[in-house]
Structure 1
Amino acid sequence: MIEKVYKMTRDNVKTVEKLIFDENINYLHMIFNKGEGLPEHFSNSNVYMTVLKGILSIALDEQEIHEYSEGSVLKIPFKTKMNVGNKHDEILELIVVKAPAPVK
């Protein structure tokens, strides 16, 4: 078999799973319920964030919180302060791609 297959969690509980973490990209799958999210941090690469389900509430650098619904794709530059979370009742599901893969 040439391809390698990865399976995402299909659940409604908080999930942050590293599906692909190699020298090319980091590919993450995240699920957040209302009030959940990531700790505030700075992006360690270019970040591409796809909203699969729900509404993403995100503050970047010193901006106010902006909200993005499913089907939205965000491109967030390297070294941007990020505050990512779900402020709504509906489950938030994201795919996050970091490219190039961050160098440790």
Structure 2
Amino acid sequence: MIEKLYHYSTEDETAVEKIIMDDNVHYIHMVFNKDKGLPEHFSNSNVYMTIIRGVLSIQLDDQDIHKYSKGDIIQIPYQTKMNVKNLHEEVLELIVIKAPAPPHYQAK
């Protein structure tokens, strides 16, 4: 078999699944219920977030919270402060792609 097959959860429980973590790309599936999200952190690569369902509430650096919904793809530059949350009733589901993979960046 030439291709490699990956799976991700189709459940509604909060999860952060690191699906592909290789030298080229990090591909992460995330599911957050209301009031769940990630700890505040700085992006360690160029980050691309695809909203599969729900509403993403995200604060970047010192901006106000912006909201993005199903069908939106946002790009977040390297070393941007991120605060990622689901502030809504509907389950939030995201695909996060980091490219290039974080090991390509030198620590500052």
Q: TM-score, normalised by structure 1?
A: 0.99
Residue 30 of structure 1 aligns with which residue?
30
AA in 1 matched with 2:99 = A
Structure 2 distance, partners of 1:49, 1:70, is 11
Q: How does 1:14-29 map to 2 (within 5 A)?
A: 14-29=14-29
Give the fraction of aligned pairs with identical amino acids, expressed as a percent: 61
State the alpha-carbon separation in 1 of the partners of residues 101 and 29 from structure 2. Answer: 15
Query: 1:70 is matched with which residue?
Result: 70
Return the offset for 1:67: 0.2
Deviations along 1:45-93, whole A, 9 cap, x unmatched? 0000000000000000000100001000000000000000100000000
Letter in 2 for 1:21: M
Equivalent position SS for 2:8: coil
Shift of residue 19, structure 1, vs aligned partner: 0.2
Please name the residue that 2:13 is paired with: 13
In structure 2, distance between residues paired with 1:102 and 1:95: 16
Residue 94 of structure 1 corresponds to which residue in structure 2?
A: 94
For the aligned residues, what is the CA RMSD? Answer: 0.8
Distance 1:50 1:20 in 2: 16
Separation of aligned partners in 2, 1:64 and 1:11: 31
- Runs of at least 4 residues off by over 2 Å: none
Cross-structure match for 1:45: 45
What's the TM-score once normalised by structure 2's chain length? 0.95
